[in-house]
Amino acid sequence: MIQFRGFLRFWVFVGVALYYLVPILIRAAFRGDDLPYALRRRRVWAVKCSQLVGVRIDVDEPPAVEGPALYVSNHRSYYDPVAVLRDVEALPVAKAEVSGWPFIGFAARSTGVMWVIRENRESRKQTVEAIEDTLNEGHSVLIYPEGTTHTELKSMPFRQGAFRVAAALGTPVIPIAIEYSRPEDAWIGSSTFIPHFLTVFGRRRIYIKMRYGAPLTDTDPERLLQRTQEWIDAQVREMRKQWFEEEGFWENRY
């Protein structure tokens, strides 16, 4: 039953993505690129997708900001951006491998995702420049500065590039903390996408806690990074404690 439900939800995920995102390409073909339209439609897709594949998110409202912001989150799963993009309109930075994934890569490319080869220094430099250009154009950006997914209580070292941009431009950083109810929901190690999706989304419900912090600004990029990371780590500890008390799946260690 679990595998059947997971298989069904995979095709629901694909079908909903096609329904909401193909019109973006059709519109672009006849009228040219329309990023605001693409972001609005993607946001509706993220909401509908979460509802239809059994995801339930305990989340507070993101803070209101004037102008673009840099959204910074810890990283657990390929589903993290979908959860965030239900709430905010931002252009995510994603690892370049995702661009080749069936359907997901197509959906990402059509809505302004920026790609980075994390192991390539020149690619990282170009991505930082793209982040700066995007913020200067008035669009928000979503980043995962750890560069990988994991289940550790404390976040991994953050790359500083985007924080240098935010500090120089005076762009507010909005920290985001995310935690799933079960350790196996995280997509880590050698696990491949489709088998992991079928297992996790084969369960009746997938529960996520997510918290948005107040906007942070600082002219010192190192201090801005540290303040962001400390806030995220504190929230993850609190959510992990809550999940242990509510579900008992995480270790009693926080």
pTM over 0.85: yes
- Give all domains of the chain, ordered by start, each with its CATH number: 57-192+204-246 (3.40.1130.10)
Length reported for the chain: 254
| Structure tokens, 228 | 């962001």
| Structure tokens, 7 | 């298989």
Question: Per-residue DSSP letters for 93-137?
Answer: EEEGGGGGSTTHHHHHHTTTPEEE-TT-HHHHHHHHHHHHHHHHT
| Structure tokens, 128 | 């930082």
Instruction: Please state the rounded mean pLDDT for residues 168-173.
Output: 98
pLDDT score at 158: 97
d(CA 80, CA 177): 10
pLDDT score at 18: 86
**pLDDT tens readout for residues 101-124:** 665 666 666 677 888 877 777 888
**pLDDT tens readout for residues 125-154:** 899 999 999 999 999 999 999 989 999 999
